Amino acid sequence: MATTFEVLAEPRRREILDILRTGERPVGDLVERLTLTQPAVSKHLKVLREAGFVEVRQDAQRRWYRLRTEPLREIDDWLAPYRRLWNDSLDALERHLGTMSDDEMSDDETAR
């Protein structure tokens, strides 16, 4: 089975997840919004379903897909140290700007 990152590396799969973020959708709606063939959308949905990103509900002849957020935790966990690094950098920038006088900040703007 593909890893979370391999599954999400495909732009159309990310687009499907973005659409499903707003709520459950039938396959036909996804086909229309993605402007792909039904077999292509079904192939992407199969990969997403096997990886646990979506689940399907059968309603008569229609299949409805909805987002499952649990697999996204793996990505969030992986990003956490980078997010802290980014926040630390922004905090340092804020401290540096706080030490600058208004004249120094104006000089920086005119130097650009």
Locate 13 and state its tokens: 């799969």
Q: How confident is the model at residue 107 (pLDDT cuts 50, 70, 90)?
A: low
pLDDT tens, position by position, 23-39: 999 999 999 999 899 99
Look up tokens 């689940």; give the residue: 55
Query: What pLDDT score was predicted for residue 112?
Result: 57
Q: Which residue type does 61 have?
A: Q
* Res. 56: pLDDT tops 80: yes
Taking a C-beta distance cutoff of 8 angstroms, is the pair 45, 30 a contact? yes
Look up tokens 């992986």; give the residue: 78
Q: Where are the domains of the chain?
A: 4-67, 72-111
CA angle 105, 110, 111 (to 5 degrees): 95
Task: Supply the CATH classification number for the domain 4-67.
Answer: 1.10.10.10
How far is Cα 24 from Cα 67, in angstroms, rounded to an integer?
A: 7
Locate 45 and state its tokens: 């949905």
- Answer yes or no: pTM beyond 0.75: no
* Res. 110: pLDDT tops 70: no
